[in-house]
Structure 1
Amino acid sequence: MALLFFFILESPSTVRLVGGSHRCEGRVEVEQDGQWHLVCDDDWDKNDVAVVCRELGCGAAKEALGGILYKPPPEKWQKFLFQNVNCSGIEDTLAHCEKDEDIIDCSLNEAAGALCEDADSPVFEEVRLADGPGPCKGRVEVKYQDQWSPVCKTGWNLKATKVVCHQLGCGRAILAQKYCNKATQGQGPIWPSQISCSGKEITLQNCTSEPWGKNNCTFDDHVWVECEDVFDLRLVGGDMPCSGRLEVLHKGVWGSVCDDGWGKKEDEVVCKQLGCGKSLSPSFKVRKSYGPGVGRIWLDDVRCSGEEQSLEQCKHRFWGYHDCTHKEDVAVICSE
C-alpha cells in the first residue's frame, strides 16, 4: 500500500473529458508522462463517473457512458492506461481508485465516457476570431444560443490562446491578448464567465469556466489573439493550376481533403480563394482522373455556405480526424 501511495505522489495523472458538448461530458482520458491515454469501460459505472466529476469540479455524476459516442474518435496510437476501474465513489481522484494497470486487453471502441451535472458552467457551441485581418487573428468570440459574445480578458493567458489556435487549425500562438480599439470592439453581450485553460485541452469548450455572471468586464476588456496563419491550399495533378486534386497546408505539411459531403458550395470557396474564377462542378468520374494523394488527410466532413473567403472558415472535423482513404480525395476544377 505504501508503494502505491508513493506512485500517486510522484506520478499524478490529469483527467479530461473529450468530445462532449461541454467540458463536463465526453470520453475519459488520463494524462501520464505527457501523453493522453484511455480508460477501458470494463466494469465502468456511475461510482467511477462520480470520481471523475469530482476531480474536474463538474458536480454530480449523471451517467456512465461509452466513449465511442464522442467524436472525434481517439487516435490509433492512444493506449489504455486503466481497466476494471472500481471506485467507491468517494475518492478525490481516479488515481486513488482500485484498477488494473498492468494487463489491459481493450479495443478503441471500449473507451469509457462520462456525463456530469455541470450545473454551474455555461455551455457555448463554437469559437471564432472576429474583425481581424484573417481567420487566425482577431477578437475571441464564442457562440451561445445563436448569439456571438466577446470573451473577457480577465484570467486569459497564452495557454488559452494556444487552445484557440489549435482548435481553429491556425498553428502556433503568437500573441495572447492586447487592447482592442473601438474599431475592433464587439457589440454583443460579453461572455459572462471567466475561462481558464491548462493549454492541453483540445477545444476551448474543454477549459474550465468560472460560475456564470462573475465578471465585471467592459468592451475595453475584450481578448484579442493572434495565431501563426499557416493555412494554404493548392490543386495538384492537373494540366493547369486551377484544376486538380485539392491539398491543404497545415502545420507545414501538405495533405488531402476527404470528399464526404463535398459539393458545389465547397468548390466555389476553393476557386474563390485561389483566384480561379467559378467552379465547373465536374462529375465524380472526372474528379478521380487526378489520382489519389499520399500522406496526411487533413480535413473531412467540410461544410461551406459558399460565402466564406477561405476553406478554413468552413465547418469541418478537427484537423487530422477522418474516416477516409485516399480513394476519397477531393478534386476541383475551376473556370480560371
Structure 2
Amino acid sequence: MAPLFNVMLAVSTIFIGSCFSEPPSKVRLVGGAHRCEGRVEVAYKGQWGTVCDDGWDLNDVAVVCRELSCGAANGTLSGTVYQPPASEEQRVVIQGVECSGMEDTLAQCKLDDDVFDCSHAEDAGAQCENPDSDLLFMLDNVRLVDGPGRCKGRVEVLHQAQWSTVCKAGWNLQASKVVCRQLGCGRALLAHRCCNKSTQGKGPIWMSKMSCSGHEENLKDCPVSHLENNCTHGDDTWMECEDPFELRLMGGITPCSGRLEVLHKGSWGTVCDDSWGEKEDQVVCKQLGCGKALFPSRRARKSYGPGAGRIWLDDVRCSGKEQSLELCWHRQWGYHDCTHKEDVGVICLDSTLDLDA
C-alpha cells in the first residue's frame, strides 16, 4: 500500500493547482519588523491560516513580495522566527506551494491544501525589501509641543534637522501608545485633530501613515507608508499621555527654576538632595521641557527656600539619559533620612535667574 500511496500523492501534487475549490484571496506577512517581512498567512474560507514550508523557496517568496507591492525577495526564514507565533486556533491551510516566480499572486501558483503532516513549527516565512524604508529615517525624534506639559501636545517628528507636524489622517491610538512609551510618559489617553489655531503648527506637514501595533518601543519601529491626503495645519495631530511622574519647580522666578516637587498619591512633596547632582538636574529639565540644566553652586540651589509637607524621594540616581525622573533609581516613596533643609533645587537653561546676584 505504501508505494501505491506515494504514487497517488505524486499524481495529486502534479495537479495541485485545482485542489482549491476557492483559492486564497489574500496574503499577508505577520510578526516582522515591517509589512514586507514575516510569517506568511493566507485568507482562506474567511479565516487566516499559515503555509507549510515544504518546498518553500525564493521563487515562492518573490510572488508574495510582488503581491504585497514590496521589493525584491531577500530570504525564506522559517515563520517561527517571527513573534508572536501563530495561535493554536489557526490552521495550516496549505501543505505545499510551487511557483515559477513570475506569478502576480500566490493564488496563481500550484497550491496543495491537503494538509496531512505539517504543524506551526514548519510555518513558512518571507523577507522582502521594504519600499517604505526611506520613510523610516524620517523618525529621528518625536516630541509633543504647545501642551501643558511634556506628555501632552501637538505631535511633531524631526527629519533632516527640521520639525514637521503630523497629519491626523495617518495617526491612530496605537501610534500614540508608542510615543507615550518613547517619551517615558504613561498610557495614551487620546489623540485627535488640533482644535484651534493656537494649537496648530507651522511649516512642513509630515504626509505619512503610521501602522503601529502599539507594542513598539520606538516610533522608528512602526511600518510607515505614504499618505494620500490633502492635509493642512488644521489636521495636525494632538495627543495626550498620562504623566505618572508629574514634576514642578516652585519658588523660582520662572517655571524653569525652583525647588523640585513631585506629585504622588495626589499630594505634592519634595526631593532630598542626597546623591543629587548634574545628571539628575538634566533629567528634570528635559522632563519639564526647560532645555538643558545649569549646575550652580549649592548656595544658589538653596535660594528657593524649604518646602513643607512630605519628602517623597531620596537617593535619586540617574544616568542623565532618562526621559523621565520615573526611570531613575530611587528609594521607595516616602522613605528618607532628610529634613526640608535638604530639598533639591533645580535651575534650567530657560531660567533667567541671575546666579551672580
Name the TM-score, length of structure 1 as normaliser. Answer: 0.51
TM-superposed CA distance for 1:40, in Å, is 5.4
Q: 1:87 aligns with which of 99, 111, 120?
A: 99
Report the secondary structure of 1:66's partner residue.
coil
* Matching residue of 2:58: 46
* Shift in CA distance, 52/278, structure 1 to aligned 2, threshold 3 Å: farther
Cα distance between partner residues in 2 of 1:207 and 1:35: 26
State the Cα deviation string for residues 293-316 of structure 1 (Å, max 9, x = none).
xxxxxxxxxx981342454xx9xx
* Shift in CA distance, 77/56, structure 1 to aligned 2, threshold 3 Å: closer
* Shift in CA distance, 55/121, structure 1 to aligned 2, threshold 3 Å: farther
State the Cα deviation string for residues 114-151 of structure 1 (Å, max 9, x = none).
12251796224467451245676433334545755322
The answer on whether the counterparts of 1:152 and 1:222 sit within 8 Å (CA) in structure 2 is yes
* Matching residue of 1:16: 29
* Shift in CA distance, 87/179, structure 1 to aligned 2, threshold 3 Å: farther
* Matching residue of 2:331: 333
Cα distance between partner residues in 2 of 1:35 and 1:171: 32
State the Cα deviation string for residues 253-302 of structure 1 (Å, max 9, x = none).
xxxxxxxxxxxx89x979x9995233369xxxxxxxxxxxxxxxxxxxxx
User: Quick check: 1:279 aligned with 2:329?
Assistant: no
Aligned-CA RMSD value: 5.0
The answer on whether the counterparts of 2:38 and 2:125 sit within 8 Å (CA) in structure 1 is yes
TM-superposed CA distance for 1:105, in Å, is 3.5
Report the secondary structure of 1:51's partner residue.
helix
Q: 1:167 aligns with which of 172, 178, 187?
A: 178
TM-superposed CA distance for 1:163, in Å, is 2.6
* Shift in CA distance, 43/202, structure 1 to aligned 2, threshold 3 Å: farther
TM-superposed CA distance for 1:222, in Å, is 1.7
* Matching residue of 2:77: 66
* Matching residue of 2:226: 209
* Matching residue of 1:178: 194
Larger radius of gyration: 2
Letter in 2 for 1:16: L
Report the secondary structure of 1:333's partner residue.
coil
Letter in 2 for 1:223: T
* Matching residue of 1:75: 84
User: Quick check: 1:221 aligned with 2:235?
Assistant: yes
* Shift in CA distance, 120/46, structure 1 to aligned 2, threshold 3 Å: same
1:1-336 equivalences under 5 Å are 4-6=20-22, 8=24, 12-16=25-29, 18-20=31-33, 22-24=34-36, 26-30=37-41, 41-58=53-70, 60-66=71-77, 73-76=82-85, 78=87, 81=92, 84-97=96-109, 98=111, 102=115, 103-107=117-121, 112-116=125-129, 118=131, 122-123=135-136, 124-125=138-139, 128=142, 130-131=144-145, 132-133=147-148, 137-144=152-159, 148-153=163-168, 155-156=169-170, 160-168=171-179, 174-179=190-195, 181-182=197-198, 184-186=199-201, 189-191=204-206, 193-195=207-209, 205-210=222-227, 217-226=231-240, 229=242, 275-279=312-316, 305-311=321-327, 333=331, 336=336
The answer on whether the counterparts of 2:38 and 2:79 sit within 8 Å (CA) in structure 1 is yes
Equivalent residues, number: 243
Cα distance between partner residues in 1 of 2:27 and 2:153: 31
* Matching residue of 1:322: none
The gaps in structure 1 that reach 5 residues or longer are 234-264, 282-302, 315-330
Cα distance between partner residues in 1 of 2:232 and 2:178: 26
Cα distance between partner residues in 2 of 1:54 and 1:201: 27
* Shift in CA distance, 200/75, structure 1 to aligned 2, threshold 3 Å: closer
Cα distance between partner residues in 2 of 1:208 and 1:150: 16
